[in-house]
Chains A and B, each alone.
Chain A
């Protein structure tokens, strides 16, 4: 089979074209299109029981009693547990510690013991023979809570509700503000969002009765890390737990972090000595999975006479919900660290107060900290443009770091790395984006619509991203007995197409087509050193790791073949699916031949030399790489309803090198959809007693095909990253980062406002704007 394919591909005697850079169809697609994907809830085990979590319906209070008798009496219910059944006060540790802040007091327990702090907090767990019976039982668990006062507004947080309070920055900000020709300040609030992958979370834990070992399906994102945490909490050897790779219905930051259920389900499997399935429903998901984004900024900028920035300062209240979860305080940290963006900011101070409220705890959501900071900074700049009378775009042109100012070191440390903005051409990218918008006649479109009296506006935003966070990732590559190439990567498949991308990278090392490559991600037995997929890092770190491992396997194949063919390895090359003598194509060994020559018993192996054709490579990277981009959009506001229609959208993004341009475009388009949702529709709100008001898709509104326009894309490969050999920058988040800012900019233009003051720009907010405007006009007419 493998050889047939090889012959088919290389029948013309040519090696295949480079796979990196080509629009290879995704390896994932066939199974997903035929219904044969295997998601967490698709995994079935014989006599598997089903788990249902009982959650607090009160936002703050003291648990006075939990009565489980009625639940236990339900036919099919096998077990009901509460915190009293746990081995101790188990808390979920932080995965990413930054800024040296001790957060141990604020960690979430796996089950609430004495107090509940948000609606949705796990308080008990029911296990039953089927999911329906488990739900019946859960409804009958009687949790008695003496309610306490709820706290919901981060801005008014007293000291005992502040988990962290820190400032990042450099330069003499106060002096700059004192000396400035212009100082512009504004307040901007970002709504509370979450990622909403289409697949709710699911975990299947297979209990192996002989050994007590666990096989776990569904822990996608950072399985090696999660295994370590779980082993610690269960007090077992990590090697007794195997996390299997499964398909995942979207990640976007929230899926695959270590949540209470990631302990509870495996622990119950061991307690009951049986296999268990837990599948979350959507109502649970919306109160249980990490929330994100909610911040209130008081931001100001000092400028000189010519509109050049002298200093920037921001004071941020970050609503982290009831506990600190696995992300610790990286979202607030990234917010302040990335806030200056692609601009020349001589002095900067960003302070963030991380407040604990009685809401679902927070973590990252795609473009964490950057969506928030970019929106706020760009809105401030729009306000500046209005106040000092400079064109919005011209203001940005003046202040963007120029090509000759890069690399630019910012005296800020984020995610444990120094911030060095690598190569690039920020103004050049902005001009390209603007030129494309002009070519598409968007300015004329806006002008014509406004001439008709329609409330149409064009918005622009610039942003800086980050990606490729190290410190390392590990990959194994091997040639198999049929001459295929198998990759065991440390990345995880969340829908982003990483199997295809890694196959492309490896295929180029072996000069074969991606059809010959099999990529297995996220299996802790196959790749015990994987660091997972998050933060737009996998193409960078997993990509370079598989590239390195591939190179080593190729070198070994050449070495073995050189013994067989009796030529120097230097005279050999891989091509046409074989190892061949340069220039003598018929003196060659197929990959399968070389594999056979490395098997135990082969005469070509030296004494004590390892058998097989495999290599493990660890790729290290010290600094992140910083992609950058621009968003331009045109929106129309309906003055009667306050509704916003996004008419046109463009993203220009520098990715260094697009391994698969189609997949990069998909990342950007999908990001825009989420960004439009965050800008216009999505928001978790709470009533005064802390009851969440959005627990279904009828209340938490996500954009449909009617709200998201076709997106024009300029994928730039003008500035390959110099932090890694592939030159890739990571493309997972830039479609989202600038969207809140661009949409807000366009809406403010449509409404003839200098800037807006909050996201999402809901109809009620915009109607208020329009009423204020009408009032102003009426007052002006009366005056």
Chain B
């Protein structure tokens, strides 16, 4: 008999009530139970960061967290970033700076970037490089990702005044 639990979680602003097996990872819950397939699994052992999502505003590896651990939590995934078809500033900057190629690691980098940007950083290229080094990308050589995060950090700083 499967060990199942009733949990509630708020994902991208919507409340969900789910019955999930205790061993099921949050990444699998998001992808399979909620159909949010933008969260990707690249290694399933917490290194690559493709599955990075925000739990109560903090970036986490959704492959290292069980779904049941998200009970009562607030989650944000890549699907929350755009407003309808309109990309947000970070998504636009990724496209402009060619910060993605195959796009598989991209949701993780976007959520990592959002978490960093939400700390209202003073833009510093070395710091951005260090933050971005939390995740792996095999296509871009990282330069476009760093450029995109730096540009948005600068713009958001200006708009904060």
What is A's interface to B at a CB cutoff of 8 Å?
Answer: 25-26, 28-39, 41-42, 131-132, 195-200, 247-252, 279, 281-283, 494-497, 662-663, 665-666, 669-674, 696-698, 702, 704-708, 710-711, 735
Contacts A30-B87, A36-B38, A198-B136 hold; do A281 and B141 have CB atoms under 8 A apart? no
| B61 part of interface (Cβ distance < 8 Å) | no
Q: Which of these, B77, B103, B110, B145, contacts A28 with CB under 8 Å? A: B103
Assuming the contacts A35-B36, A711-B143, asked whether A29 and B133 have C-beta atoms less than 8 A apart, the reply is no
Task: Find out whether the CB atom of B132 lies under 8 angstroms from the CB atom of A696.
Answer: no
Choose among B94, B102, B129 the residue that contacts A706 (Cβ–Cβ < 8 A).
B129
Contact across chains for A34 and B21 when beta carbons are under 8 A apart: no
Q: Is the CB of A34 within 8 A of B140?
A: no
CB-CB nearest in chain A for B44: A281
- Where chain A touches its partner, the secondary structure class is loop
**Cβ-neighbour of B87 out of A34, A673, A704 (below 8 A):** A34
Q: How distant is the Cα of A26 from the Cα of B144 in the complex, in angstroms?
A: 14
Secondary structure of the B contact surface, majority rule: loop
What residues of B have a CB within 8 angstroms of the CB of A496 in the complex? 101
Residue of A nearest to B129 (CB): A705
CA distance A567 to B103 in the complex (A): 48
Q: Which residue of A lies closest to B136 (CB)?
A: A702
- Give the chain A neighbours of B38 by CB distance below 8 A: 34-37
Query: In whole angstroms, how far apart are the Cα atoms of A248 and B44 in the complex?
Result: 18
Instruction: State in angstroms the CA–CA spacing of A704 and B137 once bound together.
Output: 7
On whether A706 and B130 interact (CB within 8 A), knowing A32-B100, A248-B102, A252-B138, the answer reads yes
B106 contacts the other chain (CB 8 A): yes
A670 touches B140 (CB 8 A): yes
Contact A25 B95 (CB under 8 A): yes
Q: Are A708 and B136 in contact (CB under 8 A)?
A: no
Q: Which B residues touch A711, using CB under 8 A?
A: 141, 143
- Give me 9 A-to-B residue pairs in the complex whose CB atoms sit less than 8 angstroms apart, sorted by A's number: A33-B103, A39-B40, A198-B40, A249-B103, A250-B138, A495-B103, A697-B47, A704-B135, A708-B143
Distance to closest chain A CB from B117 (angstroms) = 15
Complex: A545 Cα to B63 Cα, angstroms: 43
Residue pair A282, B142 in contact (C-beta under 8 Å) = no
- Scan B97-135; emit 1 where CB is below 8 A from any A CB, else 0: 010111111110010000000000000000001101111
Give bound CA distance, A711 to B130, whole Å: 17
Kindly provide the distance from the CB of B77 to the nearest chain A CB, expressed in whole angstroms.
7
A26 near B95: Cβ-Cβ < 8 Å: yes
CB distance from A253 to the nearest CB of B (A): 12
Residue in A247, A706, A735 with the greatest tally of chain B CB atoms within 10 Å: A706
Provide the bound-state CA to CA distance between A763 and B135, in Å: 23
Q: Mark B36-52, 1 if CB is under 8 A from A, else 0.
A: 11111111110110100
> Contact partner of A198 among B37, B48, B96, B129, CB < 8 A?
B48
A37's contact among B42, B91, B103, by CB below 8 Å, is which?
A: B103
Complex contacts, B106 vs chain A, CB 8 Å: 32-33
Chain A residues in 8 Å Cβ range of B102:
32, 197-199, 247-251, 494-495
Report B27 CB to chain A, min CB distance, Å.
Answer: 11
Name the distance in Å between B37's Cβ and chain A's nearest Cβ. Answer: 4
Task: Select which of A35, A200, A248 is within 8 A of B77 by beta carbon.
Answer: A35
Q: Which residue of A lies closest to B132 (CB)?
A: A705
Could you say which residues of chain B place their CB within 8 Å of the CB of A33? 78, 81-82, 87, 91, 94-95, 100, 103, 106, 110
Quick check: B146 and A35 within 8 Å, CB to CB?
Answer: no
Measured between beta carbons, the chain A residues less than 8 angstroms from B140 are 666, 669-670, 673
Pair A29/B94 contact, Cβ less than 8 Å: yes
The reply to whether B133 and A42 contact each other, CB–CB distance below 8 Å, is no
Nearest CB in chain A to that of B39: its residue: A35
Q: How far is the CA of A725 from the CA of B152 in the complex (A)?
A: 41
Contact A196 B98 (CB under 8 A): no
CA–CA, A763 and B106, complex, Å: 31
Q: Considering only CB atoms, which chain B residue lies closest to A30 in the complex?
A: B87
Q: What's the minimum C-beta distance from A356 to chain B, rounded to whole angstroms?
A: 28
Asked if B139 is at the interface of the complex by the 8 Å CB criterion, the answer is yes
